[in-house]
Amino acid sequence: MRTFIAIDLPRSMKTELSSILREVKQVSTGGRFVPADSFHITLHFLGDTDDIVSVANAMHDAVRGIRKFNLHLGKYSSFEKNGSHTAYIDVKGELDELNVLHEALEAALSQHGFPRESKRFTPHITLGRSVTYDELTEGELISSISPNASMSVSAITLFQSERIQGRMVYTPLHTERF
């Protein structure tokens, strides 16, 4: 099964992100947008694995010594890859704590036989992929969207990712609190 580990977001933050997503959709000419109930902050993409016990053990090891910390939404942005844009919201707040958690998770997963992520960790919340709009519209969005939702992080969650009736559905399999 296809899996990833992430920070799930509270309803209030998902509501704020839904408002932003509506604005992005209104000015875009298309894209594959993330459903509001699927917003999250990815910590590690595992890919296909059925070894949920080892993943859960790694998550347990990773959160030892981690304290609760606060995050909030940053600015809207996007990056271009192969001519299309991935739209996202930056994550701000106690990033030192988030980076400690991320590194602890990477180390624990590695000790349990899972490969480390090859790309640099950049905390963000994806709003959509293959989002299209003109450059002027993108600039206006970047300068006008400034969300203010925040959250206290006290857990990480293992999700299964599967396509059901044409849409991605993320099902929580295990949550590790700290």
Integer Cα distance of 51 and 55 in angstroms: 7
Integer Cα distance of 76 and 85 in angstroms: 12
Q: How much is the pLDDT for 139?
A: 60
Integer Cα distance of 176 and 178 in angstroms: 7
Q: What percent of the chain has pLDDT over 70?
A: 92
Q: How much is the pLDDT for 140?
A: 65
Question: What is the residue extent of each domain of the chain?
Answer: 2-177
Q: How much is the pLDDT for 145?
A: 63
Q: How much is the pLDDT for 76?
A: 87
Q: How much is the pLDDT for 104?
A: 98
Between residues 140 and 62, which one has the greater pLDDT?
Answer: 62
Integer Cα distance of 152 and 94 in angstroms: 10
Burial of 61 (0-12, 13-18, 19+ CB in 10 A): middle
Please determine, for residue 133, whether its predicted confidence score (pLDDT) is greater than 80: no
In one-letter notation, the amino acid at residue 42 is T
Integer Cα distance of 19 and 153 in angstroms: 22
Residues in Cβ contact with 24 at an 8 Å cutoff, skipping those fewer than 6 apart: 33, 76, 87, 127, 128, 131, 141
On whether the pTM is more than 0.75, the answer is: yes
pLDDT tens digits along 22-46: 888 888 888 999 998 999 999 999 9
Tokens representing residue 55 in the block? 């993943």
Please determine, for residue 75, whether its predicted confidence score (pLDDT) is greater than 90: no
CATH number of 2-177: 3.40.50.300, 3.40.190.10, 3.90.1140.10, 3.10.50.40?
3.90.1140.10
Average per-residue pLDDT for the chain = 91
User: Mean of the pLDDT values across residues 64-89?
Assistant: 89
pLDDT level of residue 85 (50, 70, 90 thresholds): confident
Please determine, for residue 101, whether its predicted confidence score (pLDDT) is greater than 70: yes
